[in-house]
Amino acid sequence: MDDVRIGVEKGKFELAVELNRITEHTYRGDASFGRLPEGYHGVNSFYVLETKGRRRLITEPILNGVVEKESIPKVSYPSRLEKRQLLKHCRYMLQIDFNSYYDAIPLEDSVRNNFVFRGKDGQYYRLRTLPTGARWSVCVGQAITSTIVDIDVSQVVILSLIDNILIAAPQGSEGGFCLPFEAF
């Protein structure tokens, strides 16, 4: 139950007030028990303990089965060898890794009823931010990051993968290297 409370406090999800009002009179003997009303769709949610000691909320693995992989744009990143070749003349480098990236990308209120789950307290909750287990979330995250780094600066290498950005430049390109940071 602490997980739900923390998720609500951090803005990851919210109490589904209207859904709780609609379903408050449902009981186990009722034929509709466990079914959500029309317009609401349930998701699984669970936490995975990370090596850093924090817990990552995984909210959307079941929708992956209904979204065709072929319909999702490919997200690619240079191989280790390709990165070495791109960076071999660079003297200045900076890597940025956004913290809690998916939690910073809100879901429109109009789609939140598609991401409902029941907490251990029996209450329904709905996601407020991008689901962390959905394949298509990767594409949304990459599209946002690609937009952030869509800067044409000669002699500056800018690579991005979801919530990670690498900016590098050779000596003599200090001005170009600093230019992307003006966006931040």
For 66, the 3-state DSSP assignment is coil
Provide the mean pLDDT of the chain.
83
Name the strand (E) or helix (H) holding 57.
Answer: strand 55-58
Chain position carrying tokens 């500056």: 156
Least reliable range by pLDDT among 45-49, 61-65, 120-124, 132-136: 61-65
Of the pLDDT bands very low, low, confident and very high (cuts 50, 70, 90), residue 27 is: low
Is a pLDDT exceeding 70 seen at residue 15?
yes
Is a pLDDT exceeding 70 seen at residue 31?
no
Percent of the chain, pLDDT > 90? Answer: 29
Burial 88-115 (b: 16+ CB within 10 A, else e): eebeeeeebebeebbbeeebeeeebbbb
Q: What is the pTM of this model?
A: 0.73
CA pair distance 117, 41, nearest whole angstrom: 8
Q: Indicate the domain borders of the chain.
A: 2-183
For position 91, what pLDDT does the model report? 93
For position 54, what pLDDT does the model report? 74
CB 174 within 8 A of CB 182: no
> Which tokens in the block code for residue 177?
């290297």
Of the pLDDT bands very low, low, confident and very high (cuts 50, 70, 90), residue 33 is: low
Least reliable range by pLDDT among 24-33, 62-71, 153-162: 24-33
For position 11, what pLDDT does the model report? 87
For position 86, what pLDDT does the model report? 94
Of the pLDDT bands very low, low, confident and very high (cuts 50, 70, 90), residue 4 is: confident
Pick the CATH number of 2-183 from 1.10.3470, 3.90.930, 3.40.50, 3.30.70: 3.30.70
**96 phi/psi in degrees, rounded to 5:** -120, 130
Of the pLDDT bands very low, low, confident and very high (cuts 50, 70, 90), residue 39 is: confident
Sheet hosting strand 116-118, strand order edge to edge: 13-15, 124-127, 116-118
What is the average per-residue pLDDT within 61-65?
Answer: 68
